[in-house]
Amino acid sequence: MHWGLFFEQAPFGGVQYYQWLLRGFAVTVELSVCAWVVAFLAGSVFGIMRTLPHRAFRAAGGFYVAVFRNIPLIAQFFVWYLVVPELLPGSLGRDLKAMDPEIQFFILAVACLGLFTGGRICEQVRSGIQAQSRGQLSAGLALGLTLPQCYRHVIMPNAYRIIMPPMTSEILNMIKNSAVASTIGVIDLSAQANRLLEYSARPYESFIAITLAYVTLNFTVMFLMRLLERKIRVPGSTGGRHV
Amino acid sequence: MIYINKISKWYGHFQVLNNCSAGIKKGEVVVVCGPSGSGKSTLIKTVNGLEPVQAGEIIVDNTVVTDRRTDMAGLRARVGMVFQHFELFPHLSVMQNLVLPQRKVLKRSREEAEEKAMGLLQRVGMQEHAGRHPGQLSGGQQQRAAIARALCMDPVAMLFDEPTSALDPEMIKEVLTVMVTLAYEGMTMIVVTHEMGFARQVAHRILFMDEGRIVEDTPKDIFFKTPQTLRAVDFLSKIIH
């Protein structure tokens, strides 16, 4: 083992090897945060749609899940990378292709990973809504709340509490899945590790380093989610610690 | 106050309500009873439009419930409903449960809503539990809070859907006491219940339902002394021990 490796000068960029890894770590964090925002919003919107009384909304939600959950992630990445820029209408596609490739690949990766994860969040949101008794919605409506008000103030706050544990797993999965983005040219943590391997020919050090980096990131997420879960726990509920 | 005119409802081919008609005057207390599956709960839920009907007409306080153009939220805000399983919102404290609909539907200020809520919690004997969450309360306490929540909206009528059926026996009394007081104060009430003691004490009329029909609509004394149908005689003999 040669741990001094990380402080050796990298062949280009005028930096040391550890700075490659740090840069990759930052990209992985940025990609994960942005993709999570997309996933949470898309998953919530389509998940809610799947529970609405109107058939067209339910069908649209079902279509979204069917598309994004049934195609392998790596295939989706290549569709976004190769096909989507060509399909975008007129100037939008041109603008995208004219961008700095690093930014272009990042945007496509956020969209791809976000919508893929959103398909899974969608089903969790739906199950969180349907896990509650129909009486909750009836009670909200009976008080004169509108359907959107019922969702906003009654159904969703409880749905998110219910699905907190599987949603945490989903975030962790998403962070791990973000490594696939390196196949379309995003220089994230795994891409940097590969590069490090190529230039230094030291597989053990390179992959132990990124393993630790991913583990650190995921442990941080687990810790934060546990804090959040505790913070929003409803007094008297059985959702938290059993007394 | 409430007119139910020849309503019918089907779930697929199964008819749950069959040509039901009834009228409830202001201040009247009507108890709906009958065997399970006879359509009592469905009937009461059609009154505030929670269950749509396929035929017939319902008018509540001069508002046509069965008209598609009716502002249902506005109507429901004026008709209180109490459920078998309480249906308090579990993530909110009792106080927040009472304040939320007042603020969102009636646009009351926080102070006004809290004052109203506190007054009603006192009436149902729940003022000490205002800050607690539903999961920390007994069934009887939850149901009293749910009644207070419905009353916060200053309803013109109250619907009770088996309000004591999910309660332990020793908690039934505390909920019935609140309902009896409400009845004596002149609230218009439709109550689906098997509590014949309550019916005897405060009901003006009994609607007896069987297989989706209202088979008897009689003043309570007549219903208990000389029921008109064999089905009602049979029913009473089974539930009065």
**Is residue A169 within 8 Å of A229, Cβ to Cβ?**
no
Domain A30-186, CATH class in plain words: mainly alpha
Shortest alpha-carbon distance between residue B79 and chain A (Å): 8
- C-alpha distances out from residue B40 to A45, A190, A201, B96, B211, Å: 36, 64, 78, 31, 10
pLDDT of residue A243: 40
More confident residue, A133 or A96: A133
- State how far the Cα of A60 lies from the Cα of A117, in Å rounded to an integer: 17
**Is residue B205 within 8 Å of B214, Cβ to Cβ?**
no
Q: Which of B140, B141, B160 is nearest to B150 (CA)?
A: B160
pLDDT of residue A238: 63
Average pLDDT over residues A172-192: 93
A141 CB neighbours in chain B (<8 A) are: 50, 72-73, 76
What is the edge-to-edge ordering of all strands in the sheet holding B63-64?
A: B14-24, B2-11, B55-60, B63-64
- State how far the Cα of B68 lies from the Cα of A118, in Å rounded to an integer: 36
Q: Determine contact: B140 vs chain A, CB below 8 A.
A: no
**Binding-site residues on chain A for chain B (CB distance < 8 A):** 133, 135-136, 138-146, 149, 153-154, 157-158, 161, 234-238
pLDDT of residue A241: 45
- Degrees to nearest 5, angle at CA A153 with A152 and A154: 105
B78 CB neighbours in chain A (<8 A) are: 144
- C-alpha distances out from residue B120 to A5, B86, B98, Å: 73, 17, 9
Q: Which helix (H) or strand (E) holds B20?
A: strand B14-24
A154 CB neighbours in chain B (<8 A) are: 89
Determine how many CB atoms are found less than 10 A away from the CB of residue B7. Answer: 24
Q: Residue B10: CB partners within 8 Å, gap ≥ 6? A: B16, B54
Strands B55-60 and B79-82: unpaired
Q: Determine contact: B200 vs chain A, CB below 8 A.
A: no
What is the percentage of chain A residues whose pLDDT exceeds 70? 98
Binding-face residues of B in 52-81 toward A, CB within 8 A: 72-81
pLDDT of residue A198: 87
pLDDT of residue A240: 46
pLDDT of residue B99: 97
* Closest Cβ–Cβ partner in A145, A158, A236 for B73: A145
Average pLDDT over residues B93-110: 96
For the stretch B157-206, pLDDT in tens is: 999 999 999 999 889 999 999 999 999 999 999 999 999 999 999 999 99
Q: Is the pLDDT at A10 greater than 90, yes or no? A: no
Average pLDDT over residues B12-22: 93
Shortest alpha-carbon distance between residue A65 and chain B (Å): 29
- Degrees to nearest 5, angle at CA B126 with B123 and B127: 85
- State how far the Cα of B210 lies from the Cα of B232, in Å rounded to an integer: 9
Shortest alpha-carbon distance between residue B46 and chain A (Å): 11
Average pLDDT over residues B103-117: 96
For the stretch A24-70, pLDDT in tens is: 999 999 999 999 999 999 999 999 999 999 999 999 999 999 999 99
Q: How many CB pairs under 8 A join A and B?
A: 81
Shortest alpha-carbon distance between residue B87 and chain A (Å): 6
Average pLDDT over residues A205-218: 91
DSSP code at position A9: B
- State how far the Cα of B94 lies from the Cα of A42, in Å rounded to an integer: 33
Name the most confidently modeled range: A82-86, A237-241, B153-157: B153-157
| Every domain of chain A and the residues it spans | 30-186
pLDDT of residue B84: 95
- State how far the Cα of A110 lies from the Cα of A80, in Å rounded to an integer: 10
Q: Is B211 left (phi over 0), alpha (psi -120 to 50) or beta?
A: left
A136 CB neighbours in chain B (<8 A) are: 87, 89
Per the CB < 8 Å rule, is B90 touching A141? Answer: no
- State how far the Cα of B211 lies from the Cα of B232, in Å rounded to an integer: 12
- State how far the Cα of B63 lies from the Cα of B174, in Å rounded to an integer: 34
**Is this structure's pTM higher than 0.95?**
no
Burial of B30 (0-12, 13-18, 19+ CB in 10 A): buried
pLDDT of residue A201: 84
* Closest Cβ–Cβ partner in B72, B83, B135 for A237: B135
Q: How far apart are the first and last CA of chain A?
A: 49
Q: Is the pLDDT at B104 greater than 50, yes or no? A: yes
* Closest Cβ–Cβ partner in B83, B105, B132 for A145: B105
- Degrees to nearest 5, angle at CA A210 with A206 and A216: 150
Confidence label for A242 from pLDDT (cuts 50, 70 and 90): very low
